Structure 1
Amino acid sequence: MAELIVKDNALIQASYTLGLAEQRLILLAILQARETGQGIDHNSLLRVHAHAYADHFHIDKGNSYEVIKDASKGLFDRYVTYHDKNPKTGNDRSFHCRWVDKIGYEKATGMVYMRFTADVVPLITRLEEQFTSYELEQISQLGSGYAIRLYELLIQWRSIGKTPMFELEKFRQQLGVEENKYSRMSDFKKYVLDFAIEQINKHTDITVKYEQHKQGRIITGFTFKFVVKVKTQKIIESKRDADTPDMLTPLKMTDKQRLAFADKLSRMSELSSYSKPGKDYHHFAKQIAEDLLDDSKYAFYIPYLDKLGFKLS
């Protein structure tokens, strides 16, 4: 099964500064919590093994423990800034909170431990609202934290393949560029934006290009367009019958069929790790039924629907 990372879009749009190893450590912790069925809550002490980190991100196993140990130390001092609205007044609010409130190391087993803060947990685990999901494989070879952040920002718009304009100052914050770093546009483009796009185009499932927007001579923001690579599309198509329509077209299902197949999908062992801990089949089936209506989510279920006998028409 694809190794799926799920993050709430509020977190993906948030502004934070993380190093490459710190971002990777968080993503791997999320993945392993889902794969083991442990789930994530404020009491979850998540474990990441050095060898798992080395295997996923293609680094030397001999150095991987020190890498994740240092990353966990750095993460302990990091914070995230996110925005919401006051439910009583409707006013915009900004909050700062730490990523983790507990870390630990076990050299004998090559293990590090971490616990997400109570504020961050809901942003990671809130699947019933708008979220972005992607396979860890897509970012495993990205050698830049900026590239990971840009990829996450872009795939929120996967269903249409283009983004609204990202205003420059907010965009810099979302990428994690420190205020006094790469202040000249030529440096920002060379060391952050162009390098990140080069990495994404080389190592992920999409090809990206951008357009800059100006007021007079001053660049004020960027928009992006991207397409799924032909090779990736061929892999997707090879898993389907030759007569099956494009996966990006809506599913041809009645509401009765959608609810029936959602119930069957919720009981498949291959999908059990995607259910929320402590929730029954009925709750999971309801989540799936909603996903099947969502253009950005339904394609994930097509291989499993095929196993159950549903064919696109």
Structure 2
Amino acid sequence: MKKAGLIVKSNQVIEAGYELSTSEQRLILSAIEQIPKGIPVSSNEIYQINAKDFVRLFGVHEKTAYRDLKEAAAKLYDRSITIKTKETTTKIRWLQMLQVKNPYFHDTLRGEDWNSVLLVFSEAVTPLLSDLKSEFTKYLASDLKGLSSAYAIRIYELIKQYENIGKREIAISDLRFMLCLQDKYPLFGNLQQRIIDPAIREINKNTPMQVTYELRKTGRKFTHIELRFKPKKENKAISTVSNRDPNTVDLIAKMTDKQRFSFAKKLSDMPEMSKYSHGTESYEQFAIRIAEMLLDPEKRKELAPYLVKVGFSEKP
């Protein structure tokens, strides 16, 4: 089942080294959002993205969406991604094909002339975006609305990867690699002032997460950053508000095990439930854990509005 607005990436991609502008990231993410979740897809699959996708997914203003899409398509075909393991460093292209409709190369382009971008992910990248059973991170594209910094998007993904833990420590050298900043801002103070602090401010202002960080020294040099994060309180409040009869919780408690697992599977397919998921678990594992959550009275109350959406009835 396709989940509207849901972005799913292998953790290898989350921690890879690559440099994409904000508009290029939006173009990549718009295509990833279209990939069916939980099933394999061909590496020759064509994804069509238009300016309306930028508006729908990321809140881009209609007047600038065409310009941003054109800018994203201009250089994306030449972009690559570097994946490091203990044994190897592998560099691969994001795309094997990108197509735009003429008159793309005109200096002046009317909005009505600009229809869409067609792209095909490279054969090496496709398995890192499709049919992921473990070691993946997922979040809603709407989380990124209001983020204008490419670095803020990347750091937000690194946070979401460890959302269930609530903190993660990253070596400054690794962060430089991921953001392709190896030779930029050689003084840590400049890196902090130009990249880290603005990105954290954007995330805190415009996303569902609240982030703080501390620095750790090795000798006299800052070598590690520890990010601490949690969902904002107002987001938790949304999930617990319901205009349903308070007896609903008691009715949920009377679910049979068969019903509980059936509704848990339906809940696992909801984009709204992504905030409860662990980044490395499969959809099947997530459904099992939701079924366990339904045994807890407080969790049942919290999940009651979502249960109604997937067909749970208040009637005995």
Task: Give the aligned partner of residue 104 of structure 1.
Answer: 99
In the alignment, the residues of structure 2 paired with residue 38 and residue 32 of structure 1 have an alpha-carbon distance, to the nearest angstrom, of: 12
How many angstroms apart in 1 are the aligned matches of 2:206 and 2:43? 34
Map 1:54-203 to 2 at 5 A.
Answer: 54-84=55-85, 92-106=87-101, 108=113, 110-163=115-168, 165-174=169-178, 176-203=179-206
Contact in 1 for aligned 2:10/2:132 (Cα 8 Å): yes
Scaled by the length of structure 1, what TM-score is found?
0.76
Once the two structures are superposed, residues 186-218 of structure 1 have per-residue CA deviations (whole angstroms, 9 ceiling, x without a partner) of: 110011100000000000011100010101220
Deviations 1:20-46 (A, max 9, x none): 1111111111123449x9985311111
Paired residue secondary structure (2:227): strand
Q: CA deviation at 1:67?
A: 2.2
Deviations 1:272-300 (CA, angstroms, capped at 9, x unpaired): xxxxxxxxxxxxxxx643222458xx89x
- Is contact 1:99–1:116 with CA below 8 Å preserved after alignment? yes
Unaligned runs of 5+ in 1: 85-90, 246-252, 272-286
Return the alpha-carbon distance in structure 2 between the equivalents of residues 209 and 263 of structure 1.
Answer: 34
**Residue 216 in 1 paired to residue 219 in 2?**
yes
Distance 1:255 1:83 in 2: 44
Distance 1:182 1:219 in 2: 14
Q: Which amino acid aligns with 1:140?
A: K
In the other structure, the counterpart of 2:15 is 13
- 5+ residue gaps, structure 2, are 103-112, 250-254, 272-281, 294-298
Alignment check: 8 A CA contact 2:80 2:92 kept: yes
Q: CA RMSD in A?
A: 3.5
Aligned mates of 1:217, 1:255 — CA distance in 2 = 58
Q: In structure 1, give the amino acid aligned to 2:66.
A: Y
User: Relative to structure 1, is the Cα distance of residues 256 and 102 closer, same or farther in structure 2, using a 3 angstrom cutoff?
Assistant: same
Q: Cα distance 1:100–1:199, how it changes in 2: closer, same or farther (>3 A)?
A: same
| Cα drift, residue 8 of structure 1 | 1.2
1:127 maps to amino acid: L
The residue that corresponds to 2:107 in the other structure is: none
1-structure distance, mates of 2:84, 2:313: 41
Mapped partners of 2:181, 2:66: distance in 1: 27
SS of 2:129's equivalent in the other structure is helix
Deviation at 1:258, TM superposition (A): 6.3
Q: Secondary structure at the match of 2:75?
A: helix
8 Å CA contact retained: 1:72, 1:114? no
C-alpha distance in 2, partners of 1:61/1:134? 24
Say whether the 8 Å CA contact 1:8–1:126 is kept in structure 2.
Answer: no
Q: Which amino acid aligns with 1:128?
A: K
String of CA shifts for 1:126-180, please: whole Å, max 9, x gaps: 32112211111111210101000000001111112111x2111111111x23322
Contact 2:173–2:182 (Cα < 8 Å) also in 1: no
CA contact (8 A) 1:57 1:140 kept: yes
The 5-angstrom pairing of residues 28-67 of structure 1 reads 28-34=30-36, 40-67=41-68
SS in 2 for 1:292: helix
Corresponding residue for residue 3 of structure 1: 5
The share of aligned pairs that are identical, in percent, is 32
Which structure has the larger Rg?
A: 2
Task: Please state if 1:290 is matched with 2:294.
Answer: no
- Partner Cα distance (1:243, 1:162) in 2: 37
Kept in 1: contact 2:95–2:119 (CA 8 A): yes
1:239 to partner: Cα distance: 4.8
